Structure 1
Amino acid sequence: MKDSLFIKAAFSEKTERPPVWMMRQAGRFMPQYWEIKNKYSFLEMCKTPEIAADVTMLPVDLLGIDAAILFSDILVTGEAMGGDLSFTAGVGPKFANPVRTQADVDALETNVGDRLQYVADAIKVIQQRLNGSIPLIGFAGAPFTVMSYLVEGGSSKDFKLAKLMLHNEPEMAHQLLSKIATVTADYLNLQIAAGVNAIQIFDSWAQALSWDDYTEFSHRYIQEIISKLDRKDIPVISFCKGSSVFAPLMAEAKPDVISIDWNVDLLDIKNRLPKGIAVQGNLDPHILYADKKVIKDRIHRLFERMRGEDGFIFNLGHGIMPDIPFDNVKYAVEVIKEFRY
């Protein structure tokens, strides 16, 4: 995979154009996704290797992107540790047994690799199907994000309960985060052993945290995870909502790539990062609702801004929304693939 555009860019090597993949590229904006989703529950899709492979391959076959990403969910680690996880249409993920007390934290297990074996099995099926054509990205949720779901019992607008634990019971919060970090490092190494070509860590809710709280309750655990990874030839991407603020701190955890949200000028932030750290991003996904001439103009504007920069992977500042027209996403990928520096 060393010759792949994506891997070269991730390791800050020169590429003739920016490689492209998009967060949530195998998902609800695709009619073909719904053909599968209408037959199975979300967790069945994640836990059945052949189905997870089918969904992973959709954007490979239909969009022609430069990297595939494993179809799974950031909360499978929380479930493996003992969380009673379910997904309901219109509601999202729920943990029926939220983690709120010391006894709840103590009950969570950390030796859970066997419970996540279905992910390794899916990776093997996907790699057979990809047959060396493009890299496969594995991923996990960052400890603070997984913790926030476990403590809140599901999605939250303000993360009040999770933040209350950080502030009122910091020792308990650190015990919980430490357990999640242990499981996450083991889980990512399981994915690497199964054959993924890159790793992304998603801290989807980091923007809920102040600088000090991010430093203490998120960054230190991401740093710990990255330090434990078997990362020879495997680029590590660090993403969080809020990366336009936290990127200089994120760099201290020594990822190969930092994925940047759309609130900042990408060249400006790259220039503030240590040499050798690539950037990924950072088109506002709402642009993909716009007319095609606008989509093309905004992609070209970003590419001209990044002209001459090694270590740039095109992506969105966050995931594709479910009602973005498929045709617009396909057009965006075509515009990117036609571009040459």
Structure 2
Amino acid sequence: MKNNLFLDAAFSKSTERPPVWMMRQAGRFMPQYWEIKNKYSFLEMCKNPEIAADVTMLPVDLLGIDAAILFCDILVTGEAMGGDLSFTQGVGPKFANPIRNAQDIDNLATDVIDRLQYVADAIKVIQQRLDNTIPLIGFAGAPFTVMSYLVEGGSSKDFKLTKLLMHNHPELAHRLLAKIAKVTTDYLNLQIAAGVNAVQLFDSWALALSWNDYQEFSHQYNQQIIAGLNRTNVPVISFCKGSSVFAPIMATAKPDVISVDWNADLLNIKNALPNGIAVQGNLDPHILYADKPVIKKHILQLFERMRGERGFIFNLGHGIMPDIPFDNVKYAIDVVKEFRY
């Protein structure tokens, strides 16, 4: 690999500067993304390996990041299991057949890896285009987050139906989570076999959970998945909104990296983790709306706080918002790349 910064930091080795990539870096804040998106539906973009590769490469070519991340979506596992998935502009993802009872859970398939082969095909195309310049990150949605979409039928502000299932029928929730966990493990191993250099598990909605519910309905399944990965030389990143709270539990699943939201002091989190677990994060993405001197100030503050620490990957505390100016994102990445410890 011509640029090893990301992998070195993920494995807690020394680096001359923090590596940088950003969640949702190949997305709606880029005019070039819309040139592609206006021709295809979102799922068509995910399922066509050449188009998925085109979108994956946009931030590589236009931003000069230190790691690419596969263009796909966390909900493709739910679709492969039998969810009727669609994406609507301004609405987001919808499952037309949400989970409502035990029969709906029983109807979900788990031997579905052949239905996700398009992702492996995309990885092979992307790796040909990257040509060993930077690493490629694969990813999947964590079981609790995928379950919430399958049960709610889409995005939710309060996760009421999901929590009713968990609290009134915990045995059904666990049956559903166990199925998603099996598919997720198989899916990430498919990505690793196809050639990704790292994987990230996205538990985007874990912050909806209490401490006890996180342990019961999220962590134990994430732990199962991480334990089941063929992870030799492939770092595993664990991310959730709520990692500022749940990091001590997340660490017991033994990821290589914990990706931290912007609510915590990153050095405090790092110091509380076992040796050998790197941290990723944790700039508030809203700062990228601000004037460039403000962006620079916040990045350098974070870097001074983390000075001398091995195992630090610069990222946002969550994904880039669609209306953040492209120039601001590019500027932030340039600030990171000019920095030296």
Q: TM-score range by the shorter chain?
A: over 0.9
Q: Distance in 1 between matches of 2:321 and 2:283?
A: 13
**Partner letter of residue 215 of structure 1?**
Q
Contact 1:181 1:224 in 2 (8 A): yes
Q: Distance in 2 between matches of 1:296 and 1:213?
A: 38
Q: Distance in 1 between matches of 2:292 and 2:86?
A: 38
- Asked if residue 321 in structure 1 is aligned to residue 298 in structure 2, the reply is no
Q: Distance in 2 between matches of 1:308 and 1:72?
A: 35
Change (3 A) 1:3 1:38: closer
Offset from partner CA, 1:209-248 (integer Å, 9 cap, x none): 0000000000000000000000000000000000000000
Q: Distance in 1 between matches of 2:315 and 2:253?
A: 21
2:140 aligned counterpart, secondary structure = strand
Q: Distance in 1 between matches of 2:313 and 2:155?
A: 29
Q: Distance in 2 between matches of 1:286 and 1:89?
A: 22
Counterpart position of 2:47: 47
Counterpart position of 2:133: 133
**Partner letter of residue 170 of structure 1?**
P
**Partner letter of residue 171 of structure 1?**
E
- Asked if residue 98 in structure 1 is aligned to residue 101 in structure 2, the reply is no
Offset from partner CA, 1:252-283 (integer Å, 9 cap, x none): 00000000000010001100000100000000
**Partner letter of residue 131 of structure 1?**
D
Counterpart position of 2:266: 266
Offset from partner CA, 1:101-124 (integer Å, 9 cap, x none): 000000000000000000000000
- Mapping 1:282-301, distance limit 5 Å: 282-301=282-301
Counterpart position of 1:250: 250
Contact 1:2 1:8 in 2 (8 A): no
**Post-superposition shift, 1:171?**
0.3
Counterpart position of 2:189: 189
Q: Distance in 2 between matches of 1:2 and 1:119?
A: 24
1:200 aligned counterpart, secondary structure = strand
**Post-superposition shift, 1:195?**
0.2
Counterpart position of 1:22: 22
Q: Distance in 2 between matches of 1:318 and 1:238?
A: 13
What are structure 2's unaligned runs of at least 5 residues?
none
Contact 2:93 2:154 in 1 (8 A): yes
**Post-superposition shift, 1:100?**
1.3
**Partner letter of residue 312 of structure 2?**
F
**Post-superposition shift, 1:2?**
9.2
**Partner letter of residue 283 of structure 1?**
L
2:274 aligned counterpart, secondary structure = coil
2:122 aligned counterpart, secondary structure = helix
Q: Distance in 1 between matches of 2:256 and 2:8?
A: 11
Counterpart position of 1:175: 175
Contact 2:3 2:66 in 1 (8 A): no
Counterpart position of 1:110: 110
RMSD: 0.7
- Mapping 1:62-81, distance limit 5 Å: 62-81=62-81
TM-score by length of structure 2 reads 0.99
**Partner letter of residue 291 of structure 1?**
D
Q: Distance in 1 between matches of 2:3 and 2:33?
A: 30
**Post-superposition shift, 1:140?**
0.1
Counterpart position of 1:307: 307
1:98 aligned counterpart, secondary structure = coil
**Partner letter of residue 294 of structure 2?**
V
Q: Distance in 2 between matches of 1:2 and 1:183?
A: 33
Contact 1:113 1:186 in 2 (8 A): yes
Q: Distance in 2 between matches of 1:123 and 1:281?
A: 25
| 4+ residue runs over 3 A deviation | none
Q: Distance in 1 between matches of 2:245 and 2:290?
A: 27
Counterpart position of 2:221: 221
- Asked if residue 156 in structure 1 is aligned to residue 172 in structure 2, the reply is no
Counterpart position of 2:84: 84
What are structure 1's unaligned runs of at least 5 residues?
none
**Post-superposition shift, 1:3?**
6.2
Q: Distance in 2 between matches of 1:154 and 1:7?
A: 34
Q: Distance in 2 between matches of 1:116 and 1:260?
A: 29
Q: Distance in 1 between matches of 2:92 and 2:298?
A: 32
